[in-house]
Amino acid sequence: NFPSTSFFPSPSCSRSKSYFYFIALPALFKQELQDTEAEESGTVTLRCELTKPKAPVEWRKGDVTLYPGLKYEMRQQGCAAELVIYDLEVEDS
């Protein structure tokens, strides 16, 4: 099941419909996350680059989805996505 968009070529042809199907290609990693060292109680920024600008990004630690708040900040500009982790603890590794 693909989403469809109907298209009417001109008012005189309004009885005949044409359907176009679009298949969106997934965003891939152009540059993956790199291991980063940081000091406890410090701040670290993790960065990756995607093949599609403004692609939806979900940050996870294992099976846990991370959300913006006092601990985490998510930034995205063009194809670059960043996760900033504040007040680092050993458990953040």
Give percent helix, percent strand, percent coil of the chain, each to the nearest 5.
Answer: 5, 35, 55
Pick among 2.60.40.10, 3.40.50.300, 1.10.4080.10, 3.40.50.80: CATH of 29-85: 2.60.40.10
- Per-residue pLDDT tens for 14-48? 555 667 776 777 888 888 888 888 999 999 999 99
The kind and range of the H/E element at 77 are strand 72-77
pTM of the model: 0.70
Other CB atoms within a 10 A radius of the CB of residue 66 amount to 14
Residue 3's identity, in one-letter code, is: P
- Per-residue pLDDT tens for 67-85? 999 999 999 999 999 999 9
Confidence band (pLDDT; 50, 70, 90) for 4? very low
